[in-house]
Structure 1
Amino acid sequence: MSVFAVLDQAAVRFGDQGAVFHGQSCVSTWVQLRDRALRLAASLRLQGIPPGTRIAIASENRPEIVELFFAAWAAECAVVPINFKLHPREMQQILEDSGAAQVFASAKIGPELGAFTDVPIDIVGSAGYRDRFAAEPAAVPDTDPETLAWLFYTSGTTGRSKGAMLSHRNLMAMTVAHLADIDSPDDACSLIHGAPMSHGSGLYVLPYVLRGARQVVPGSGSFDTGEFLDLCDHHPGASAFLAPTMVQRLVEMGRPRPRNLRTIVYGGGPMYVESMKKALAAFGPVFAQIYGQGESPMTITGLRRADHEGADDAVLGSVGYARSGMQVAVLDDDGLPVPTGQVGEIACRGDAVMTGYWNNPAATAETLQGGWLRTGDVGSFDGRGFLTLRDRSKDVVISGGSNIYPREVEEALLEHPGVSEACVVGAPDAEWGEVVVAFVVAASGPAAPTPALADELDAHLLQRIARFKRPKRYEMIAELPKNSYGKVLKRELRSHLS
C-alpha cells in the first residue's frame, strides 16, 4: 500500500473540509490537496523524472510541503527532507549522497543552496512552481509497500551523514502505531507544525491526514511561542509534536492553557522530570512522549497522556512502553537480553524499522543485527515494563531536539590554525537538554579563554557547519586526557563541567 492512499482516502471521506492552513487561513481542502499533489506528480513525470527518483525538500515550514510529500509519493518517488538549519555545504552533501534529481526549496534557502549544487532547484511558490499545476493529474499509484518512500538523513558518531531508508510499509506501521498508542484525532482536530517538517512534525502528517485533521503551518514558518499558542486557541483539537525545549518555552511564557489544546507529543531529546511536572501544572494532562530514531521513525516506545496523570518520578523519567507492532529489548554485549533492572543496549524490531542505510551496506550490517535495530542507546526496563534511557553509547549531543555530532564540530575546529586539538562533549542544560562544549588545545600552547577567541572560533565555524551546532562554551586546556591507546577520555572532560 502506498502512503499516498492516506490522502486519497481523506479526499473521499472529508472532501471540501479544510485540509491545509497557513496560520488561520485555509489554503486547500482535501479534494484540492489531492488534485494539487497529483498535478505536481504529473509535472515531475513530464520533467522526465522516473519512479524511484529522490526528490529533496529544503525549506522552513511552509504549507506547500504537505502537497510536495504526497506529490513525490504519487510519482512513486522518495522524499528527502533536509533540515533547513543546515549550512548549504551540508545540504549539498545530502544531495550528492542521495542522488536527488530535483530540489524544492524556499526563496530563503534556494539561492544560497544554488551556489553549492548543480541539482535543479525549484523555488516553492514561484511562478515556475505554479506553472506545474497546469499538468493533467497523474493516476493514483499502485506502489509496492517495500518501495523507498522517505530518505531520512541522520549522522553517525563519525559525523558522516547516513540515509535511513524508510519504505511505504515502514511509514504505514508508524502511522498505525501512532493512532493506536499516542493520539487518536478525527476531522475536528488539527496538527500544528511548530517543529521542523523535515523531521518528526513532517512524519506526523500521515496519521493526522488519515483521520482528516487539519494541517496548520504557522505563518512564521517556525516555532514562535506566542504564535503557537494563538493557533491553538484558533484551531479545533490542536495537537503538535514539539521538542522538550519548545515545551519549556511554552511553560515559561506563563500564558493560560489554550482552550483548544488537545495533545502535545514531545520527543527528540531528554525531558527532565521537574520540567515535565511544571508543564503538567501549566497545561494539564495533554502530554504524550515518544522515543524513536530516524531508523525507526517516532516508534520504539512511548507514554500516553493517561500515563502522565498521577505518575511517579520513575514513570515521568522513563520513555514508556514498547509501541504497538514493536518488540523492544535490552541486550548485553553478546546480544542476549539482560534481566529486568539491568542496563544494556536498547534494540528493537518491527515493521517500523528501516530497511537499511542508503548505499551503505557496512553501516547497515553494523546497525541491523539478527533482525534487531541496535540503537546505540543504553537503558533498562523496570518491573512494570517502563524503559528508561541511562546513557548513549554514541556521543551524540541532543540540543533542543536536534542531534549534534561531536566529531563533525571537532573536525571543523581543527581547520582553524590556532587549534591543535579539540574534543566536543554535551553538558546538561535546563533549557536545551544539552549544550555543546568544546575543549580546545591551542596550537601555541596553554592559553586562557577569551571572548575574542570564542568569537573568532564562532566566525570560523559559521563558514563550515550549521549555526545551531556551534559550541555554547569553549574551555582552553593544556592537553586532552587520554588513555594508553591514545583515546580521549571524555568522561574526564565531563567531570570538569559545572
Structure 2
Amino acid sequence: MLVPLTMADFLDRAESAAAGRVALVDEPDQPSRPVPTTTYGELLRRVRAWQAGLDALGVGVGERVAVVSPNSARLLELLYAIPASGRVCVPVNYRLTAEEIAYILRQCDASVVFVDPDVEAALGSVEGPKRFVLGEQTETQVMRYDVAPRPWSRPDENAVATLNYTSGTSARPKGVALTHRNIWLNAMTFGVHGRIWERDVYLHTLPTFHCNGWGVPFLLAGLGAKQVMQRRIDGAQILNRVQEHGVTLAFGAPAVWDAVLRAARSWQGEVPGRGSVRIVCAGAPVSDRLVCQVEHELGWEFHQVYGLTETTMLTFNRRPPGAPGSGGLTRAGAPALGVRLRTGERGEVLARSNMVLDGYWQDPGADAAALAGGWFRTGDVGEFDDEGHLVLFDRLKDVIVTGGESVASVEVEDCLLGHPAVAEAAVIGVPDERWGETVKAVVVPSEGAAGAAAAEAELIAHCKRHLARYKAPTSVDFVDALPRTSNGKVRKSRLREPYWIGQDRRIN
C-alpha cells in the first residue's frame, strides 16, 4: 500500500491522539495580541480557520502564501495550515530589507502575504501581493470559523510544501523547494537521532522561518509535545522560560548558547534545566570551550548537527559514552540515517538523500550546478576521520591563498577561539601586494580583555605558536559583534567587502 506522506499526517495524529494536551505557548511580548495558550484540539481548530480563510480569498492548491514574521504562534499555525491544504508556504526572513522581501514575493509569485506588525511598518508602501497584518486584522478579516475548509483532493508527497529562501550572502536569494516527502522524512529522521518524544517541551529559539532544515515543529505536532515561542534571542529570557515551562529541548547557533552562558553567570540560584535540557547546535563553527561550558556551567546536553537549507540534516553528532573533554562534538558528525556523503574535487562535501531539495524555484541553471551527477554540491570542504565522522575545514570560497599556500579560515578561527581574550572570531583574506592575499582576523573580545594594540600582538603570536606561521593573521580588527545571517552564519562577504573595493575579483 502506498499512501502519500504529507504534512497533514502530523496534524491528523495531533488531533486524534493529543487533542487535550497543551500545544503552544505564544510569545507574550509582541506588537499584536498573543494567541492564548492552546491545546492541540484548539490549535487544529485555528489551523482549519486559516485554511477556510485562504479558500475564501481564492488561493488555490499549489499557490504560494508568504509569511514574514519573527517567532509567533500565528507563524507556526500558518506553517501547519498552508502546506497541509496543498498550498506552498513561503516563510520569509523578517530581518531582510524591504527591497529583498519584495524580490522574494515577486520571485515566488505569492498570492498573499501575512506580515508581523513590526514588518508591516518596515515594508511601508512596497508593492506586491495583497497583504494582511497578523493579529486583529487576520483574526477578523481572514480566519473563518463558520465554514469547513475544502479538503486537498489529491494529496501528493512530491508536491512542493515550502519555499525557504537562502540568505543570499553573495547574490540574490534562491528559493529552496522542499517537498512533503523531504520534510516528512527529515522530521522523522531528526526525531530518531534527537530522541524526541511526546514529553519533550520545545523552546523555539531557532527562527521558525528556518525550521524546515530541522523539520521538528511538524514532528512535535504529531507527537503532541508542548511548544514555547521565543520571539528574540535573550539569554535571561531563555533561562526564565526553561524554568517556567520545563523546557527540555532547543536548537540554535553557537551565538544563542553564548548568550545563555553570559546570562547564567549572573543568574540567582541554580541554573534551570540542569540534567534535563538537550540543545542542538549548528550554523557556525563550535569550539571545545563552548561545548565544555554548556555541559559544565549549564549542565545541558550538547549535540552538533550539520546541514544546509537545501539538504536539511546531513549529520548528527552526540557525545559517545565516557568521552573526555568535548567528546568530539566540534566535528560535524556521522551521516544521518539515509544520508550518503562523499568528498569530491578539492575536498568538497557531496550529499545524496531523500531529504535533499527538489530544486530551486524557477532556476534550472542553479539546479544543474548544484545537483550535477545526482549529488548535491555543498560548497563546504571536509574529510572523514577514522570513526567515519565528517570534519569540516572551510567553504571553498573561504579558502585564503597566501603566497601560494592555502589557509583554511576555520582552522585559524578555531585557534583564535582557544585564546581566553576571544569571544568570537572570523577570518578572511584581504589583498596584499607581496603575498597576493593575507590573513586578517576580525575578533569580538571577551569581557575584560586587554587593550586592542596589546591584544593584537598577543593573538598573532598565539596563532604562530599553534599553527604554521603563514596561517597566522597579519592583522586583527576588533568589533563589538560579527555580522550574521538569521541562522547564525557569519556574513564574511560583508567583512571582506571594504578591503576588496576596486578589485575585479575577490581573490588576488
Mark yes or no: TM-score above 0.5: yes
The yes-or-no answer on 1:355 pairing with 2:358 is yes
Shift of 1:111: 3.3
Equivalences for residues 55-204 of structure 1 within 5 A: 55-131=65-141, 132-141=143-152, 143-155=155-167, 158-186=170-198, 188-200=199-211, 203-204=215-216
Q: 1:72 to 1:296 in 2, by over 3 A?
A: same
Contact 1:104 1:121 in 2 (8 A): yes
CA distance in 1, matches of 2:25, 2:426: 33
Amino acid at match of 2:58: G
Q: Deviations over 1:162-215 (max 9, x none)?
A: 1111000000111111111123221x2211112311113884211222221112
Q: Deviations over 1:273-313 (max 9, x none)?
A: 2221222211235111110000012x101112x44862556
Q: Deviations over 1:95-137 (max 9, x none)?
A: 1111111111111102332422221111111234334233423
Q: Deviations over 1:61-110 (max 9, x none)?
A: 11111111111023311111111111111111111111111111111102
Corresponding position of 2:12 = 8
Corresponding position of 2:385 = 382
Q: 1:311 to 1:183 in 2, by over 3 A?
A: farther
Contact 1:41 1:72 in 2 (8 A): yes
Amino acid at match of 2:374: G
CA distance in 1, matches of 2:179, 2:500: 49
Shift of 1:13: 0.6
Q: Deviations over 1:222-261 (max 9, x none)?
A: 1111111111112235211111101111112224431374
Shift of 1:487: 3.3
The yes-or-no answer on 1:286 pairing with 2:287 is no
Contact 1:23 1:231 in 2 (8 A): no
Corresponding position of 1:300 = 314
CA distance in 1, matches of 2:10, 2:159: 16
CA distance in 2, matches of 1:439, 1:135: 65
Q: 1:191 to 1:353 in 2, by over 3 A?
A: same
CA distance in 2, matches of 1:271, 1:60: 25
Match of 2:349 among 346, 355, 375: 346
CA distance in 1, matches of 2:501, 2:381: 29
Amino acid at match of 1:102: V
Length, aligned pairs only = 419
The yes-or-no answer on 1:37 pairing with 2:50 is no
CA distance in 2, matches of 1:3, 1:159: 31
CA distance in 1, matches of 2:138, 2:501: 56
CA distance in 2, matches of 1:194, 1:277: 21
Give structure 2 stretches of 5+ with no counterpart.
29-34, 400-408, 433-482, 484-489
CA distance in 1, matches of 2:196, 2:95: 31
Match of 2:426 among 415, 430, 434: 434
- SS of 2:127 mapped into structure 1: coil
CA distance in 2, matches of 1:133, 1:308: 52
Match of 1:216 among 219, 228, 244: 228
Corresponding position of 1:258 = 272
Shift of 1:59: 0.8
**CA RMSD across the alignment:** 3.2
The yes-or-no answer on 1:487 pairing with 2:505 is yes
Corresponding position of 2:448 = none
Contact 2:349 2:377 in 1 (8 A): yes
CA distance in 1, matches of 2:314, 2:120: 35
Amino acid at match of 1:241: F
CA distance in 1, matches of 2:96, 2:248: 29
Q: 1:157 to 1:471 in 2, by over 3 A?
A: closer
Give structure 1 stretches of 5+ with no counterpart.
334-343, 397-424, 441-460, 462-467, 491-498
CA distance in 2, matches of 1:489, 1:311: 40
The sequence identity of aligned pairs, in percent, is: 26
